[in-house]
A and B are shown apart, each in its own frame.
Chain A
Amino acid sequence: MSKTTACFDGAECDSGLACQSPLATAVTSQGDPTAGKGKLCFKFVEDDTYFMNGSQVILSDDHIDIYIPMCWPIKLTVASIQGSETPRIQSQANSIKLPPPQSLVQANQCQQSNSISISLPASPSGITIGQAIKVVFGDAAGSAAIDEQLNQPSDSTISNSRAAKPGKFHSRSIPAGSSYGKAAAMGKVNGPLADQQRMPRSYSSRDKRFDSFKTWSGKLERQLSNFRGKPQEPDVEANDSDISIEAEAVPAVDRYFDALEGPELDTLKASEVSALPEDEKWPFLLRFPISAFGMCLGVSSQAILWKTLATSPSTSFLHVSLTVNFVLWCISLALMGTVSLIYSLKIIFYFETVRREYYHPVRINFFFAPWIACLFLALGVPPSVAENLHAALWYALMAPIFCLELKIYGQWMSGGQRRLSKVANPSNHLSIVGNFVGALLGANMGLKEGPIFFFAVGLAHYIVLFVTLYQRLPTNETLPRDLHPVFFLFVAAPSVACMAWAQICGDFSYGAKMAYFIALFLYVSLAVRINFFRGFRFSLAWWAYTFPMTGASIATIKYANEVTNVVTQILSVGLSGISTFTVTALLVYTIIHAFVLHDLFPNDVSIAITWKRTKLTKKLAHLRFASSDMKDIEASISGNTPQLP
């Protein structure tokens, strides 16, 4: 372990981040003119670790990145660098020499919260060190002496820069995680060298580009180091504050519509940039979308279908064994367990991603999928496993659905910009179907009032959604122009509603029949436009679109039980065959994509849009904001003035 220190004689400047020399810059932290020249020292703690003033310097083979966590007007030049041992890094204008391990010079304890990145290109004859050198500034633990002269002004700097921060960083895009993001945000500093941002990092440094999506990045480490009694690394703190900035920005629904396109809002528009690197594979959890629960929906509804086929009198001539149901149920249970496990890991480790999915106008509907899949599992439970389920299960499953409905339907009715005339999309059916499936299960269990409650809520909102989707309002931005498998969700609600109503009433009454015929008509009108699966990119969400077919075939079997003749029997067998065939085909597709093409989970760009807005929308929003606030002010003032008699 060698001890190296370098002294930068810094000169500070008055305003702006514009550095005179784009190439060689160093930084002092004082904002106080009286402080005069400040000394910035960095200490060579280990071969690859530098600490200086809460900055991080990464020395790689051909490049030096200095991240100085500070957001303060500075304009500095490297005045003097002494050193002999360390190899030179040649740049066009200046050179930095890493000094030999001479003496332990004072290190500042100040910790700032934002960073400036300085990129110094190294000449080919640059650092000869084979190992990359990572320099982290500002480790107070190692520094014995503290430069008091610098400390005072830097404190004020901290507070100032903190106060200025939100305005500075609000809704700024942070394209590549923490440090890199800041480096880009402070693009002025690196100026012409911005393209050299993505340089090979040192071996010891973490990949920070995904940090803004991580739940624990920085936080956990800081807690751990606090726990050990070690002071925090400023770098980490900078990271953390950055995340909190990101988290503060509440994503506007308009942003999703601006940045994304496609019927599922899952492709980035050409004009947009992703917040995460698009050219490489992200961590698996980041690529795992909530629509993966669609698989559970597809398989568990198959389990119900085969249970119905085995137990219905109208299909008894098929002699279907209940074993099929049992096997399918076990598969779907295992699938459900796996998917929920992976997704809960995602919730734990990448909460920001989940949050972004939650605000995504199409994806939010898939948050119903896990609960609907659980309801399906409860509906399709093999008789050999359980005959009667406890009513508490129903309440436990319906509670989250109820809460999500409060959220979503409330948004339609009264919440901000997420008006139904804007966000209506066939996938909204997923938020409706939960009601009917819940009503069906509850009625199956013998409950009375609960199923009616959910049926009523579902019916009312189904009518609203049905009318809105049929209108194809020009304000509906996400409605697919062409046919898309997502349209099969149209069949889901009436077919499940038919079964639920039949179960609530106790017989297959006119209401149930009407719902069934509506479902059948929609099915047929979609089926005649057969060239469906052409020209669309396969996505995991397709699984969710198979359960309406299965639901329609189950409803047909139920109907055939009521009206038993050859036509209905043929119909029920035919529809069951089609749905099973579709699910099998989809399974083959999935296997091909998973094991042959390895692209089952492509980069999920819909969660990686930047919050940056175009100038126009920003301006408009600002105007709107301003005028509404004017109203507030007016109201409050008139409220405060005493009323004249």
Chain B
Amino acid sequence: MGEEDKEGNRGGEGFTEGVGSERKRRRRYLTGLRIGRDLEGDVRMSEQGGGRRREENEEGNHGGGFEEEAGEMVDRMLQIITTSTTTSTSPPDRDVATEKTLSKLSILTRFHAGYFRISLSLCGQALLWKTLSEPTTDAHALRPIIRMLPSAAFVMLWSLALFTLVALCLLYAARCLFRFHSVRAEFAHHVGMNYLFAPWICWLLLLQSTPFLRPHTKSYLLLCWLFSLPILVLDVKIYGQWFTKGKKFLSMVANPTSQITVIGNLVGARAAAQMGWRESAVFMFSVGIAHYLVLFVTLYQRFHGSDPLPAMLRPVFFLFFAAPSMASLAWDTISASFDTSCKMLFFLSLFLFASLVSRPALFRRSMRRFSVAWWAYSFPLTVLALAATEYAQEVKAEMANLLMLVLSVLSVLVTLVLMVFTALKPNDLLPHDDPFLCSNLIPKA
């Protein structure tokens, strides 16, 4: 289409075309950079993996180029990210045995909060299926499918989500214990810090979809507060950073993952509203929506020098429509009816969904290799499907039901595909060259 597609996807097509064009392209750049080396030999070398190191240095230089634009701290992170591969990739000639032990040891190092995307998706699915199977939900077309599945299936799904979440939380707790410096580095990182909200969001979602607890029981209340408090604490920390602390002002650190902070507030508001605590629900909702407004405007403006989101993380763009959907769900629970403002929020998220889906070029570069970032597709779709379900309940039109059906099926399919990918490619899930490897986020002394 336009220049922006090409721009956003610079070089993206090159790899789909095949190795030949890749080589050509490479050669062009190398020529462009006036590297006085034997090009052929260089290409050959890098194809065998040997020439990688030099490229990484190139990238390091590139990362250094940002330095003028961004603040010092953010910059530091950036540079580390872009050069991360240098430290993390291991030369192929290294002993395999050493490699094995290393990888076992480094599993904690290579783990980071971004992996909570998986449990986020699963918990979202659990909530979606719970909502669909509720007797109050008038799931026209889905009724036969839901009836076909035994109720144990939902419990299974919920248990799977719980298991994943517990496992991830344990891993992360271990990481906090043994790799505290990486956790701190992650907390200082503009993408990483947002994912610290994710475990609490997962717990809240799981709590809402739990088949065992009724919302008005004491334990529900206790758990709800237990999971909401960290969100509030993180809110104070991060939103405070935005408007007070020197170098982390919003125009520099804003990126699509920042919307997770908003989603956290909205999920908390929904959970609070479900157990009847309307005032605290409104409190969390208003905090969330006010910052969402600021964030939305800032993200749309896309300041120069504030877009350090690597192409690999492009799937998190889907969070753009997760936030308004979640807001619509939260307001629906607070006001006890799917009113016009809920509809408006839902429609906004539908539009953003259409807007993102109509630019597949944006995601092409991230789709080249499976990574945990892919899991970011699933959760927003699930939230959108949830909002569509509520909308269909309110409107009761054929189109609304169709929309609900399509979105639910889509979100389930995406989650299934992701699960299959994860099962098939466990190696890609914990790659050695993850740019968000937190050991690389530690500022070097």
> Residues on A close to B: CB < 8 A?
250-253, 359, 405-407, 409-422, 424, 449, 452-453, 455-457, 459-461, 463-464, 467-468, 473, 475, 504-505, 622-623, 625-639, 641, 643-645
Contacts and interface: CB of A to CB of B under 8 A. Distances in A.
Contacts of A625: 10-11, 29, 32
Contacts of A252: 3
B238 interface: no
Given A464-B301, A635-B369, A644-B103, A359 B2 contact: yes
A631 B369 CA distance: 14
Contacts of A457: 347-348, 351
Contacts of B293: 463
B262 interface: no
Given A413-B355, A634-B85, A460 B296 contact: yes
Residue among B61, B312, B347, B427 with most chain A CB within 10 A: B347
A460 B297 CA distance: 9
A627 B355 contact: no
B55 interface: yes
Given A475-B304, A644-B90, 7 more contacts: A411-B2, A413-B317, A415-B2, A417-B4, A422-B304, A630-B59, A636-B368
Contact of A628 (B10, B46, B99, B355): B10
A369 B400 CA distance: 31
A644 B432 contact: yes
Contact of B6 (A409, A416, A452): A416
Contact of A456 (B347, B362, B432): B347
17 contacts: A409-B351, A412-B300, A413-B302, A415-B362, A419-B303, A421-B302, A424-B301, A455-B344, A457-B351, A460-B324, A627-B59, A629-B26, A633-B55, A635-B312, A636-B368, A637-B46, A644-B90
A416 B5 contact: yes
Contact of A622 (B7, B32, B92, B354): B32
B221 to A, nearest CB: 34
B138 to A, nearest CB: 17
Nearest to A632: B11
Contacts of B302: 412-413, 419-421
Nearest to B365: A632
Given A250-B3, A644-B96, A406 B354 contact: yes
Interface string B280-309: 000000000000010011011111100000
Interface of B: 1-8, 10-12, 14-15, 22, 25-26, 29, 32-33, 46-47, 49, 52, 55-56, 58-59, 61-62, 65, 85, 89-90, 92, 96, 99-100, 103, 293, 296-297, 299-304, 311-312, 317, 320, 324, 340, 343-345, 347-348, 350-352, 354-356, 358-359, 362, 365, 368-369, 395, 397, 399-400, 427-428, 431-433
A424 B302 CA distance: 11
Contact of A421 (B25, B296, B304, B359): B304
B4 A416 contact: yes
Given A415-B359, A416-B3, A421-B304, A630 B344 contact: no
B2 A452 contact: no
A420 B14 contact: no
A411 B297 CA distance: 14
Given A449-B395, A626-B32, A628-B10, A420 B3 contact: no
B301 A419 contact: yes
B424 to A, nearest CB: 13
A634 B56 contact: yes
Contacts of B348: 456-457, 460
Contact of A638 (B2, B89, B300): B89
B7 A421 contact: no
A464 B369 CA distance: 34
Given A420-B302, A456-B344, A643-B431, A634 B59 contact: yes
A630 B29 CA distance: 8
A-B pairs, top 8 by smallest CB distance, nearest first, are: A416-B7, A415-B4, A416-B4, A456-B344, A419-B302, A643-B427, A627-B62, A626-B29
A633 B432 CA distance: 17
Contacts of B368: 635-636, 639
A612 to B, nearest CB: 16
Contacts of A629: 10-11, 14, 25-26, 29
B345 A456 contact: yes
B14 A632 contact: yes
Given A464-B300, A627-B59, A414 B10 contact: no
Contacts of B347: 449, 452-453, 456-457
A406 B355 CA distance: 5
Nearest to B358: A406
Given A413-B355, A639-B368, A631 B59 contact: yes
Contacts of B355: 405-406, 409-410, 413
Contacts of B12: 632
A645 B99 contact: yes
Given A453-B350, A460-B348, A407 B2 contact: yes
A146 B18 CA distance: 42
Residue among B61, B340, B345, B432 with most chain A CB within 10 A: B340
Contact of B356 (A411, A414, A456): A414
Given A413-B299, A635-B369, A250 B11 contact: no
Contact of A417 (B3, B46, B55, B356): B3
A337 B73 CA distance: 59
Contact of B317 (A251, A414, A463): A414
A405 B348 CA distance: 12
A630 B351 contact: no
A224 to B, nearest CB: 31
A418 B4 contact: yes
A443 to B, nearest CB: 12
Contacts of A250: 2-3, 6
A626 B25 CA distance: 9
Contact of B100 (A418, A452, A637, A645): A645
B303 A475 contact: yes
Contacts of B300: 412-413, 420, 461, 464, 468
A9 to B, nearest CB: 39
Contacts of B14: 629, 632
A629 B62 CA distance: 11
A446 B167 CA distance: 53
A422 B302 CA distance: 9
Given A633-B26, A633-B46, A421 B4 contact: no
B3 A359 contact: yes
B297 A463 contact: yes
Nearest to B49: A641
A251 B3 CA distance: 7
